[in-house]
Amino acid sequence: MAKIGYAAMMEQFHPTDLLGWCAAAERAGFTAGFMVSEHIQPWTPQQGQSAFAWAFMGALGTRTSLRFGTAVTCPGFRYHPAVIAHAAATLGAMYPGRFWLGLGAGEAINEHVVGGHWPEIGVRSAMLFEAIEIINRLFTGEVVRHRGEHFTLESLRLYTRPETPVPVYVATAGPVNARKTGRFADGMITVGAADEKIGTLWGRFDDGAREAGKDPAGMPKLLQIHVSWARTEDEAIDAAMREWPNGGMPFPKQDVRNPEDFAAMAKLGAPRGLPQPGPDVGRPRGAHREHPALHRHGLRRDPTSTTSAATRLSSSRSSAPRSCPRCSVRLSGPVDWRRMRRCPRPRTASPRSLLATTRSDRLRSMRPPAARRGRAMRRQVPVRTDAGLDRDGDRQDERHTGGDPIPDDAFSHLRSTRRPRRRAPGPARRCPLPWRSPPSAP
C-alpha cells in the first residue's frame, strides 16, 4: 500500500515556516515522511528562498518524528563525498533509523557556482556511483583510502556514525541508471511520469537488485508528484505557472545555470507541460501496488492538506495577484489557459528572432547609408566645370600626370547618376528692408 509524504521545498518557503508546515503535515496523516530539497539557489527568482538544507534537517528531526532525507544532494562539486558522508552519519547518529541519504547527478543551477568544468550526464553518472562507493565504505567505520578516476581520498575514518549505516537512495529517470541503482544503492527516487515509464524504471531497478543478491520487494521506491491544490481550476493553473513554472517545461533542465534563465523560459512557454487538472483527485496517478511512498509537493504559497479541508499548511498571507505566464501582465477575470491559444498581450520575441534581428542590425550598421555613399563617391571624382577647375579649386590640367589637357568626357562614366534632391516650395522670401525706388537721374 502506498504511503503519502510531504516534499519540503527549500526554494519556495522560509525555513521557519516550512518547519511548521512539516509538523502540520505529520498531524494531517502524511506518514511517509519528508523529502527535503537541497538547493543553493531557487529555480526562479519568484520562488524567493534557498536555505541550507543540512541545517534545516537538524531542526526537522527535533520538530517531527517521521523519516526524512535529502532529495537530492549531488556529490563531487560543492561537496566532496567525504563531506556528505560526514554530514549524513551525524544526522543518522542523532536520529537513528529516521534519516536516509538521497543522491543524484546534480544540476548546473546548483553546482556551477564553484566554477570548473560542467561535464555531460555520462560523466556525472560515473562520478555519482564512484561517490556512493566511497560513502558506503566510510559508513563502515574503517579507515578509507581512495584514488579513483574522479575522486581522491587520502585517509579518513568517521568516528561519529549510527549503529546501522544510513541507507542511500539514488534519484534517476533513465533505465540504465535505474539498473545500476538497484545494484549499488538501497532505494530509488524518481519524479512523476507516465505509468509505462515508471513501471519500466522500477523493473530495471528490481533487475539490478537481483543481480546484487538483494530482495527488491524490501527496497524503497520514492515517487515525487507536484500538486497544485486550489478551489478552482484557474487558480490551480495560475499557482502552478507562477510558483513552479519549471514543472511545465518538457525538456531536460540540468544544464541551465541561473534562475533568471528559467524565468525567461517560463515567459516564452505555455502550460503545455502541466498535467490536465481534474475535478477529483481520486487514486494517485502512479501509485502502483509496489509503490511504497508518494511524496506530495504543494505548489501554492498557501498549501492545503489533500486529506482534510480543515487542516491548513499555510501562512496567513494571501496569494499573489493573477498574472499572464508569458508577459507577466496582471489579468482581470477568469482565463482558461487550456483553451487559450495566444496571449492577450504581444508575446515576447523568441531567442531565434532576437538573434536574427541583432544580426541584421549589425550587418546594416557595417556599411554607410546610401546618401553617405553617394557623397563619398562624388568627393572622390573630380567634376570638370566651365572654368576648368575641379571642386577642390585646382586646375584639372595640372592634376593630369600625362601633361596633355584632360578631355571633357574623361570622367563622364564616373559621375553620380543620383538626381539632386528637390526642396519643397516654401513661402516667398521678402526683404526685411523697406523697398524704395531708385533715385531719378538729375
What confidence tier does 138 reach under pLDDT thresholds 50, 70, 90? very high
pLDDT in tens, 2-36: 899 999 999 999 999 999 999 999 999 999 999 99
Is the pLDDT assigned to residue 66 strictly greater than 90?
yes
For 30, the grid coordinates are 502524511
Q: How many Cα neighbours within 13 Å face the side chain of 268?
A: 13
Domain assignments of the chain as residue spans, ordered by start = 3-321
Query: Which DSSP helix (H) or strand (E) runs through 407?
Result: none
Which range (129-138, 175-184, 350-359, 410-419) has the least confidence? 350-359
> Distance between CA 285 and CA 195 in Å, rounded?
8
Active site residue 39: yes
* pLDDT at residue 396 in the model: 44
Check 11, 26, 39, 243 and give the catalytic one: 39
User: Cα–Cα distances in Å, from 262 out to 42, 46, 109, 310, 414?
Assistant: 10, 10, 10, 35, 58
Determine the pLDDT at residue 409. Answer: 58
pLDDT band at 204 (very low <50, low <70, confident <90, very high): very high
Q: CA 64 to CA 86: how far, in whole Å?
A: 23
Q: How far are the Cα atoms of 87, 99, 184, 221, 345 from residue 84, in angstroms, in the given order? A: 5, 13, 17, 22, 48
Band of residue 425 on the pLDDT scale cut at 50, 70, 90: low
CATH of the domain spanning 3-321: 3.20.20.30
* pLDDT > 50? residue 269: yes
Q: Provide mean pLDDT across the span 230-241.
A: 87
User: What is the predicted pLDDT for the residue at 355?
Assistant: 40
| Helices (H), ranges, 95-218 | 108-111, 121-139, 175-184, 195-211
Q: What is the pLDDT of residue 283?
A: 36
Q: Is this prediction's pTM over 0.75? A: no
Say yes or no to pLDDT of 265 above 70: yes
- Dist CA 134 CA 156 (whole Å): 10
d(CA 92, CA 85): 10
Residue with cell 560523466: 123
Q: How far from the centroid of its chain's Cα atoms is residue 116's Cα?
A: 19
Residue 139's φ and ψ, nearest 5 degrees, are -65, -15
Q: Compute how many other C-beta atoms are within 10 angstroms of the C-beta atom of residue 354.
A: 11
Q: Is there a catalytic annotation at residue 107?
A: yes
* pLDDT digits 0-9 by tens, 207-216: 999 999 999 9
Q: Given a cut of 90, is residue 381 above it in pLDDT?
A: no
Whether the Cβ atoms of residue 101 and residue 168 lie closer than 8 Å to each other: yes
**Average of per-residue pLDDT across 247-272:** 78
Task: Return the pLDDT at 402.
Answer: 45
Active-site residue (options: 11, 26, 38, 107): 107
Check residue 238 and give its pLDDT: 85
